[in-house]
Structure formats: C-alpha cells, structure tokens
Amino acid sequence: MMKQLTINETLCKGCNLCTIICPYRIFQIGTTPNRRGIYIPKLYKPGRCTNCRLQDLYGRQLCGTCALICPDQAISWETVSQYKKPEIMIEY
Amino acid sequence: MKAQVKEDWFRKDRLPHIFCVGCGNGTIINCVVDAVFHLDLDIDKTVFLSGIGCSSRAPGYMASDSLHTTHGRALAFATGVKLGRPEFDVIVYTGDGDLAAIGGNHFIHACRRNIDMTVVCMNNQIYGMTGGQGSPCTPIGKLSTTTPYGAQETPFDLCELAVGAGANYVARWTSYHVKELRNAVITGIETPGLSFIEVLCQCPTSFGNKNKIGEGVEHASYLRKNAMLLQKARRMEEEGKKIPPETFIVGEYVKRSRPVMGGKT
C-alpha cells in the first residue's frame, strides 16, 4: 500500500497556485487543455512527494501545502497498491 | 457525527464552488476545514455563519449547520447562536466590507464582550461581489471602481482594532501562508473568547487586474513578497527604520485570557 498524488479533473479550474507552493516543484503548468478546456497542471516525477513516500512510516500527514492551497479541493492522495511487475502470459 | 475524512466537511453536491479562478477564498475554506478536522469537532455541534459578500458564500459548502445572514450582521447572529447554545463551536466567515464597513460596530462590541467564537476575516481589500468598489481596507493609492484616481483614505488596521477592543486571540496571515493560517485557526478555536484571524487573500478579478498585479499566481506571489513578520516590524520600529509601503504585517498579535462571555462550562 502506498499513496499517490491525484488531481481531480472535474474540480480543478486551472489556477496554477499549486505550481508556486510545492517545495519539490512537482506541479508544472499544463500544456494541453482537457475536455472542459482547462489546462490542468502536469505532475513531474510525483514519486518525490514527501507525503507519498513517508506518510505510512510516520503515521501522520506530512507537508500537504498543495492540498491546503488548492482553492477547489482538487488535490488529494489516494491509496494504491504497490506496483507489480506484469506477468507475461505465454500462449502455446 | 464525527468526520472520518476531511471531505466529509464539504457538501460534495455543491462543489465545485462559484469563486473565480485563482481566488483565495477557497484556500481559506480549505485551511479552516483542515483545522476543524484536525481538532475532530462534531459536525452536528459546529455552526458556520456569514454575512453578505464573496467570502460569505463559504458556509454554503459546509456539511454542518450554517447561517447566511444579512449584510454585516453575522457577528450579531453568532452572538445569539453562542448564547442560546453555549456547547456549540461557532465559526464566522466574513469579508472586509462585511466586517469593517457595515458591521463595524458589531465587530467592536463582539470583541468587547469577548464572546467565545472564531472570526475568520477574508480581507481581499475590495468589495469583490458587487463589482470592485473601494472598501475600508483598500490601501492608499489603489484603484477600484469608486476610487478611479487611487484611494485617498487611510485603510483600517483590523488587527489593531481587535486588540484595542479586547479580543483574546488576534492574528493576521495571508492566503499564501497556508500552514501558519491553519495553525492559527486551530489556536483560535482552542482559545476561549473571541479569536480574530484576518487573512489577506488575492482577488484577481476585481483587485489584481485593476491594479496591474496580475492573476491568481502573481497576486499570491505579491502577497508572499510583501509580507513582513510582526517581530521584524516591531524591531524596525524600535531601531527607527521606516517600514516600506505596501507591506502587510503578518503574525500573532495577541494571545491573552480576558473574562469570556458565553464560554463552554
């Protein structure tokens, strides 16, 4: 089990406030509009996020300034299972 | 009912909210919700109140009981709620036009009576909802619809006013300083008596564009650049240095324990 940064595309309005507050500069200004014509920020190497890496170890919320500054409550962490190497099926 | 996750405090059917792109009010709602979630308050025993204005749309997105009252009278209604049900936690969202202009007397007397509630003032330095008229907090020289050649009047310093009127906890932060703001709201809810937290927030639509500050990101960077800690400002005053213009003094002004009216027993 580990955490993963997600941006909710139905809530985000594309204000880019998260791009100035992240200490790791994970959020980058988006380049392609989505279905609603809004430029959603891109995630650049989101594995560096402190909260994703260390929340389970410390048992509490770390950093989290992006989720606090987001005016539309669009940034959250969702729990995902660990990455598994896909098994290759060999058909005979 | 206790909230299991932070999203339980929001009415998800009302989101996304109506604030403009880059508006700081959503940030302040987030910080207050994070604070009440951290304190583990009961959703059924928390009341959010507001007057009229951009900031006062905020209680409409809260899952708990909320009151959207007449212009400037949020503190008067909050006094009634607190004295009627002293076991409730009362949090008031209000704006600078709401609190300082038409509700000024209610504010002074709520501070004097020291009623046990938390007042979060979203100060965007303008009347945002009605089209950008100058408010009592518009700084000197800033343009607005009613001050097309620059505001000529000295703006209100709401924190000094609250300290003078007798509030128990007074702090000022900006919408860029989210962690400090969240901790200030936690301290404010925990402190008995009136806790006043003034938050300078960006208004890209009415204030930023008119004054050539820019959109939400530029306005937030402007707030960050021009913020000065209270300790530094006091030290500069002692040394006789002049504080540069357009500086927002941020920090914790006062924390004391004057007699409280309507506190939890």
Residue of A nearest to B222 (CA): A20
Residues with Cβ < 8 Å from A24, sequence gap 6 or more?
A48, A49, A50
B207-264 residue pLDDT tens: 998 899 988 899 999 999 999 999 999 999 999 999 998 899 999 999 999 999 887 7
- Whether A78 has a pLDDT exceeding 90, the answer reads no
Q: Is B5 on the interface with A (CB under 8 A)?
A: no
Residues with Cβ < 8 Å from B32, sequence gap 6 or more?
B91, B93, B120, B185
Residue B67: exposure state from Cβ atoms within 10 A (0-12, 13-18, ≥19) = middle
List the single range of A18-27, A48-57, B238-247 with lowest mean pLDDT. A48-57
How far is Cα B167 from Cα B112, in angstroms, rounded to an integer? 7
Q: Which residues in chain A have their CB less than 8 angstroms from residue B182's CB? A: 68
pLDDT (average), residues B4-32: 90
What percent of chain B is modeled with pLDDT above 90? Answer: 82
Cβ contact B16–A70 (<8 Å): no
Query: Mutating which of B21, B122, B225 best tests the A interface, going by the most A Cβ atoms within 10 A?
Result: B21
The pLDDT value recorded for residue B86 is 92
Residue B121: exposure state from Cβ atoms within 10 A (0-12, 13-18, ≥19) = buried
pTM across the whole model: 0.92
The pLDDT value recorded for residue A82 is 72
- Whether B37 has a pLDDT exceeding 90, the answer reads yes
The pLDDT value recorded for residue A83 is 64
Q: Compare B229 and A44 and report the one with higher pLDDT.
A: B229
pLDDT (average), residues B65-89: 93
Cβ contact B15–A73 (<8 Å): yes
**ipTM score for this prediction:** 0.86
Eight-class DSSP state of B14: G
Pick B16's closest partner by Cβ from A11, A17, A76.
A11
Residue of A nearest to B32 (CA): A68
The pLDDT value recorded for residue B216 is 87
Chain A: which residues have CB within 8 Å of chain B? Answer: 10-11, 13-17, 19-21, 65, 67-73, 76
- Give helix B74-84 / helix B104-113 axis angle, nearest 10°: 30
Cβ contact B30–A67 (<8 Å): yes
Residue of B nearest to A66 (CA): B178
Sketch the domain layout of chain B as residue ranges: 20-255
What percent of chain A is modeled with pLDDT above 70? Answer: 95
List the single range of A57-61, B41-45, B191-195 with lowest mean pLDDT. A57-61
- Whether A27 has a pLDDT exceeding 70, the answer reads yes
How far is Cα B221 from Cα B176, in angstroms, rounded to an integer? 8
What integer best gives the mean pLDDT of chain B? Answer: 92
- Whether A85 has a pLDDT exceeding 70, the answer reads no
pLDDT (average), residues B52-79: 92
The pLDDT value recorded for residue B236 is 94
Q: Which residues in chain A have their CB less than 8 angstroms from residue B199's CB? A: none
Cβ contact A71–B26 (<8 Å): yes
The pLDDT value recorded for residue A88 is 77
- Whether A24 has a pLDDT exceeding 70, the answer reads yes
What percent of chain B is modeled with pLDDT above 70? Answer: 100
The pLDDT value recorded for residue A68 is 92
- Distance (Å) from the alpha carbon of A36 to chain B's nearest alpha carbon: 14
Cβ contact A20–B217 (<8 Å): yes
B89-104 residue pLDDT tens: 999 999 998 999 999 9
Core vs surface per residue A17-29: b (16+ CB within 10 A) or e: bbbbbbeeebbee
- Distance (Å) from the alpha carbon of A83 to chain B's nearest alpha carbon: 25
Q: Which residues in chain B have their CB less than 8 angstroms from residue A65's CB? A: 178-179
Q: Which residues, in sequence order, are bridge partners of residue B200? A: B123, B174
Does domain A2-80 fall into CATH 3.40.50.150? no
H-only helix segments in chain A? 18-21, 50-58, 65-69
Q: Is B27 on the interface with A (CB under 8 A)?
A: yes
Rg (CA), chain A: 16
- Distance (Å) from the alpha carbon of A19 to chain B's nearest alpha carbon: 9
Q: What is the CATH number of domain B20-255?
A: 3.40.50.970
- Whether B265 has a pLDDT exceeding 70, the answer reads no
Residue of B nearest to A70 (CA): B27
Q: Which residues in chain B have their CB less than 8 angstroms from residue A11's CB? A: 15-16
